[in-house]
Amino acid sequence: MSLKLSEYRIDPERPQGDALRIGAVRYLPRGVTRQERTKYFDVWMPALSPAPALLKAMQTAPEGKKKDAAWKALVAGYKKQIAADAAARQTIALIASMAARLPVEIGCYCDVPTCHRFTLERLIREAAAE
């Protein structure tokens, strides 16, 4: 099944397109109210973000091999977190079903190639293939 699914870096200056923008982030940006969040995404889904402990381990790891190991641990822990949460798995299945019909974008604030949104995109694509 071909999905209309992509990822994006959340930025208030980014023009809103036709896609449903899902913010898969634990927290709103500092100072942003729930009413103002539509500048960043259409739907806020903190349940699809990694657990705070996983994020902290990644953010505090020094650059180099330890950062690479922390990233691998975050991906493994994030997959385990999603697998253990029936609501998160069902939400992923719902997003996969929606992306088969309309454009959907998965967003996070990270500006690095090591971001959970890429793993989440793969999990959604895997759910669509089932």
In this prediction the pTM is: 0.90
Per-residue pLDDT of the chain (130 residues; tens, 9 = 90+): 699 999 999 987 877 789 999 999 998 888 888 788 888 899 999 999 999 999 899 888 888 898 899 999 999 999 999 999 999 999 999 999 999 999 999 999 988 888 999 999 999 999 999 8
Q: Using CA atoms, how far apart are residues 49 and 14, in angstroms rounded to an integer?
A: 21
E strand or H helix at 58, and its extent?
Answer: helix 52-60
The domain spans of the chain are 5-49+88-129
Report how far apart the first and last C-alpha atoms of the chain are (Å, whole number): 10
The pairing of strands 43-44 and 5-9 is unpaired
